[in-house]
Structure 1
Amino acid sequence: MATAQENEKKILSFFRDIWSEANLDVVDQLLDPDFNFILSFAHIKDRESFKKLVQFNHQAFEKLTYHVDDEEGDVVADETKGAGFWRMTSKHVGMWRNIPGSNKEVEITGLSYFKFSPEGLITEVRVHNDVMGLMQQIGGIELVYAS
């Protein structure tokens, strides 16, 4: 079983190496073959499908970067689970969720909850993010508030 500190490093690598740098070799090192990636609007059920999601997002969003500050306590973990608070910045340049590239700079925040296997691999990530804010920023929806 991995230590809490080892799992914190894996969470940081998940954001830095996989999401920000699109280093798909790291997927095989960190994620269980039956890995689950769960969003409010999608459920990815294995490593290969997750790799495709990362590639797709890097085509739709230029300079996709996840900012996680481990010195500020944005990442916590124990031997079986962990969480990371993040901020994503990018530029929307390609089709995403049927919305053509808007060339707009975007920024959202989110929290990802991680589960680890006894072997120390990431088995599941549940993401809670501001997808509505992202959709608004790229012109996918207009928020209307009643007064």
Structure 2
Amino acid sequence: MDTLKSKRELIQQFITDIWNESRFDLLKNYIHADFVDHSLPANLPPNAEGLKSWIIGTGKSFKHRSVIEEQVTENDKSMIKFRMYLKHIGIWRNIEPAGAEVSVIGYRYFKIKEGKIIEHWALLDGNSIENQLKDAAMGCKSQD
């Protein structure tokens, strides 16, 4: 039987291996066969392949690293508050890359079944990222 500790660790390791290190060869260790990602854009399938495509696409605009700041795990659910550190390396929202380094707070909500992630939702403030990049391009420094 899965313990709360193992569920917390599943999510923590998922963020490290998949989001931070792009270890897509390990995706099957984290994602349930019936996985649904409710946060992907409509042009991507809401499954593991869609998630992989999204992370690869994000990596074309940003070198990114997510750090979990808070986590609450209860029964079959886990929610994290994370900070994503981004280095702008490719065009994003028509903003040319200038190597600016920004960060943004986000939230991820996971449902877990049979020791794997079966559902995922995310909330990340893209407008905050855009504003920080525009400020950096104009020589301004945004406060977090």
TM-score (norm 2): 0.81
In the alignment, the residues of structure 1 paired with residue 35 and residue 92 of structure 2 have an alpha-carbon distance, to the nearest angstrom, of 23
Q: Deviations over 1:69-111 (max 9, x none)?
A: 4xxxx12212311111100112111133444324211100011
In the alignment, the residues of structure 2 paired with residue 114 and residue 99 of structure 1 have an alpha-carbon distance, to the nearest angstrom, of 31
Aligned pair count?
Answer: 133
CA drift at 1:132? 1.4
In the alignment, the residues of structure 2 paired with residue 131 and residue 23 of structure 1 have an alpha-carbon distance, to the nearest angstrom, of 25
With over 3 angstroms needed to count, the CA separation of the structure-2 counterparts of 1:88 and 1:80, relative to structure 1, is same
CA contact (8 A) 2:17 2:26 kept: yes
1:132 aligns with 2:133: no
Aligned-pair RMSD on alpha carbons? Answer: 2.1
Q: Which moved more, 1:80-89 or 1:17-26?
A: 17-26
CA contact (8 A) 1:84 1:113 kept: yes
Consecutive unaligned residues in structure 2, runs of 5 or more = 136-144
In the alignment, the residues of structure 1 paired with residue 93 and residue 4 of structure 2 have an alpha-carbon distance, to the nearest angstrom, of 36
With over 3 angstroms needed to count, the CA separation of the structure-2 counterparts of 1:113 and 1:133, relative to structure 1, is same
1:90 aligns with 2:57: no
- SS of residue matched to 2:105: strand
1:42 aligns with 2:41: yes
1:42-81 residue pairs with structure 2 within 5 A?
A: 42=41, 44-62=45-63, 64-69=64-69, 74-81=70-77
Consecutive unaligned residues in structure 1, runs of 5 or more = 141-147
With over 3 angstroms needed to count, the CA separation of the structure-2 counterparts of 1:97 and 1:36, relative to structure 1, is farther
In the alignment, the residues of structure 2 paired with residue 28 and residue 97 of structure 1 have an alpha-carbon distance, to the nearest angstrom, of 31
TM-score (norm 1): 0.79
Partner of 2:18: 18
In the alignment, the residues of structure 2 paired with residue 103 and residue 68 of structure 1 have an alpha-carbon distance, to the nearest angstrom, of 24
Partner of 1:143: none
